[in-house]
Chains A and B, each alone.
Chain A
Amino acid sequence: MHTTVRGEVVSLTADGADSAIEVRGLCKSYGETRALENVDFTVRSGEVFGYLGPNGAGKTTTINILSGLLDRDAGDLAICGLDIVQDPVAVKRRIGVVPEESNLYPELSCRRNLEYLGELYGLSRAARRTRIDELLAAFDLSDKKETPFRTLSRGMKRRLTVAAGLIHSPEVLFLDEPTAGLDVPSARVLRALIQTINRDGTTVFLTTHNLAEAEALCGRILILVKGHAVTEGTAAEIRRRVEEATSVSVVFSGHVEEEMLLETCPAVHSAVSTEGRWRLEASDSHAALTQIISFAEQQGLRVLEIGTYTTSLEDAFMTILKQDVKREPRL
């Protein structure tokens, strides 16, 4: 499939009032290695924003800068209208961070872990008690209340780590690879919880390698490659940007000669058959479908199956990565 990438960040919302996170010209280097290069994006209040990229793209670096764990080299950023460098304590009260590795206190029980964090976030004793019970119930950990964190299963640890990020009901929740390493049922439970958290009004900033997960959860997605924001938009918009041709999948009732098919259907550019199923690349899907059906009638064949092939976000992501290979290597 021949595809192109526009390779530019779509225009960002200028409406600062309704944005949870605004980042402009963010740069970060580790020695000679540039981890982030002029990254711009806006996360709107109440959305799930996907921040995708291959390993080493700069996703965790971005989260670490936004959450105050790392200093930036350059750029402006505002979280809920505040700068993490100018007012770190106020920003940290408004955000919750769930890092890639669960980082709660192994020797403390689930309840005590949440209680301690509740104390640090200034919740009253009564508020802590209520919130802990709510979170343990929501994350299906009520029966593990007094169990030490270190003895929990990996899935339970992840759930408790997400719960810990929510102890103070943050306005923005950063989730760094929340389902990495989880089995399918645990990942599914966690995804459902993320949707619930978002429905309750929390803005979610999500990094993940699971593109199906990103597509299912995220309203908008930014793809970061080697520290550069390569593209941004909804999953559908990103797919469209890499689609130059439409793929058509068709199964005929009998044998078809490739040459004849291409001659009879000028809208079809290429054709590949695998075990009787043809995958055709066409510039105009409507014209191609009409021509294919006419071709079958001329050949005395029936069309058993026909449909356009939808480019997945994964296809789009891989195309973007391939395009990025041409990018100049970083110093």
Chain B
Amino acid sequence: MNQLTSALFISRKDVESYYGKPPLITWGMLFPAVLMLAVYVKDPTTYLDVAPGIIAMTLLFGNTSMAAIVVTFEKRSGTLQRLLLAPVTHRTIVLGKTASAAAYGIATSLVITIGLALLLGMTVSNPLVFAIGLVLGAGVFSLLGLIASVMVREVFEAMTLLNFLRFPILFISGVFMSMAALPSWIKPVTFISPLTYVVELLRYGIFGQSYFSSPWVCIFVVSGFLALSWLVAGPVFRRNANR
């Protein structure tokens, strides 16, 4: 049987098993929704400026949390070992787990996007670029979550480790203000964060313009991060999955 089909089966089972877990609801839905509401209440005239950042943040937290929950839970319960005994490659498992986490992140981001559109009148001027931003970002963040969580055993360890990555990324990536408004000393660091490019892709999708002159710059860079994460995830998973 095709390994791709196996990856789909793995993904579908994860969706079936884990989408209702409380940490996913908290981090994936409530946290960004409450944050967006706070921004709106503070200033109803400029809240849309931070919408791309909030959606990207939803993607970051949703994807990484899903990957962390699935991998650590399955390591503890022994079901990941069960999966390792099946006739599937490590890459197939990484693909399946990443796909389920990515699907979750995309779904929660879309819920926030639809909520913003219906309740606060946000429009998406370039849906294709917006969708590309969601898909590429979901891929990178899911792989990031998987890499971090396969190295530990407990959900809280995975969440702690991820928070060390997520919060600094959030700070340097122009989530709460546009790139143009960031202080000049922080900009060099901003360019090494994948979240920066995801935010700018979503910004282009919503407003039709971003910090970068062309969305292709962001697509190219995020694709590079995706390829790098994919290359790193295989060996890291192989080395740590059965520990």
Contact = CB atoms under 8 A, between A and B. Distances in A.
Interface in B76-102: 77-79, 81-89
Interface string B5-39: 01001100100110000000000000000000000
Given A89-B88, A121-B87, A103 B13 contact: no
Contacts of B87: 88-90, 92-93, 120-122
Interface stretch (A64-72, A229-237, A259-267, A297-305): A64-72
Interface stretch (A8-16, A34-42, A105-113): A105-113
Interface string A161-177: 00010000000000000
Interface in B182-201: none
Interface string A200-235: 000000000000000000000000000000000000
Contacts of B6: 119-120, 122
A148 to B, nearest CB: 11
A117 B86 contact: yes
B163 interface: no
A92 B1 contact: no
Contacts of A99: 78, 81
B242 interface: yes
B242 A103 contact: no
Contacts of B88: 89, 120
Interface in B204-243: 242
A101 interface: yes
Interface string B146-171: 00000000000000000000000000
Interface residues of A, number: 28
Contacts of A103: 77-79, 81-82
Name the residue in A70, A103, A112 with the highest tally of chain B Cβ atoms < 10 Å from its Cβ. A103
A116 interface: yes
Contacts of A69: 81, 84-85, 242
A93 B87 CA distance: 6
A97 interface: yes
Contact of B82 (A104, A119, A122): A104
A90 B88 CA distance: 10
A120 B9 contact: yes
6 contacts: A68-B84, A68-B85, A88-B87, A105-B17, A116-B9, A120-B87
Given A69-B85, A89-B89, A116-B9, 8 more contacts: A88-B89, A92-B87, A105-B77, A105-B79, A105-B82, A108-B17, A122-B1, A164-B82
Interface of A: 64, 67-70, 88-90, 92-93, 97, 99, 101-108, 112, 116-117, 119-122, 164
Interface of B: 1, 6, 9-10, 13, 16-17, 77-79, 81-89, 242
Top 10 nearest A-B pairs (CB, nearest first) are A122-B1, A103-B78, A92-B87, A120-B86, A119-B9, A103-B82, A93-B87, A89-B87, A97-B85, A69-B242
